[in-house]
Chain A
Amino acid sequence: GAGVSQSPSNKVTEKGKDVELRCDPISGHTALYWYRQSLGQGLEFLIYFQGNSAPDKSGLPSDRFSAERTGGSVSTLTIQRTQQEDSAVYLCASSLDSYEQYFGPGTRLTVT
């Protein structure tokens, strides 16, 4: 079946601009996660959605980062006023039971 999809696969933006990254989870998966992978660093948790519950935003690095999940499916991660340190690969994962998480291919964000 279809896996997790993310778009765009690559995004180059100028410092100070806003960007939106999209994630389509596996159909039927109720849990959705966003992670960030920077060069030389491990994957860093950003935000977690589970069903209709309030999201766990404890990993968001600043108030420039926000995310929403519409209709319990598609999610959008928004970064406002991008900075060079935001350059990274942004990975989305989904899960049926909050155990095994299946990842998408990621969006590589470059802030110039």
Chain B
Amino acid sequence: EDQVTQSPEALRLQEGESSSLNCSYTVSGLRGLFWYRQDPGKGPEFLFTLYSAGEEKEKERLKATLTKKESFLHITAPKPEDSATYLCAVQGWGSQGNLIFGKGTKLSVKP
């Protein structure tokens, strides 16, 4: 069964304090791993897609990396506006295209 586990559940950082969020997954043939950002009361906002181990993608203060068992979302020098819930999802080749989501990491960045 495809499964995604995210840790920690919640993370509090001071502005400028870099850290990483973890996404561990099991899937029968990875088609893609996706990171989303979700603000309260809104739908998830697409951030990155990673397809194969060793791949990295960056956007502003965010960098996503992928291994065969997990993905990390590195946040460098975060700002208060980076506060949100970050969701990780996988899509397997055996699926019809639907995503399997983790429960998310709620990030709070204090000024």
Contact = CB atoms under 8 A, between A and B. Distances in A.
B87 A43 contact: yes
B78 interface: no
Contact of A43 (B45, B49, B96, B101): B101
A100 B43 contact: no
B110 interface: no
A4 B87 CA distance: 19
Interface string B66-105: 0000000000000000000001010100001111111110
Interface residues of A, number: 27
B25 interface: no
Interface in A17-34: 31, 33
- Chain B facing A: main interface SS: strand
A33 B98 contact: yes
A43 B97 contact: no
Interface string B41-65: 1111110010000000000000000
A104 B96 CA distance: 20
A41 B96 CA distance: 22
Interface of B: 4, 31-32, 34, 36, 41-46, 49, 87, 89, 91, 96-104
Interface in A36-75: 40-45, 48, 50, 56, 58-59
B103 A42 contact: yes
Contacts of B43: 4, 91, 93, 103-106
B34 A48 contact: no
Given A48-B96, A48-B97, 9 more contacts: A42-B103, A42-B104, A43-B44, A43-B99, A91-B44, A95-B97, A101-B99, A103-B46, A105-B42
Contacts of B44: 43, 91, 103
A102 B46 contact: yes
Looking at B32, B49, B96, B104, the one whose CB has the most chain A CB atoms below 10 A away is B96
Given A41-B103, A42-B101, A91-B44, A99 B32 contact: yes
Contacts of A41: 103
Contacts of A35: 99, 101
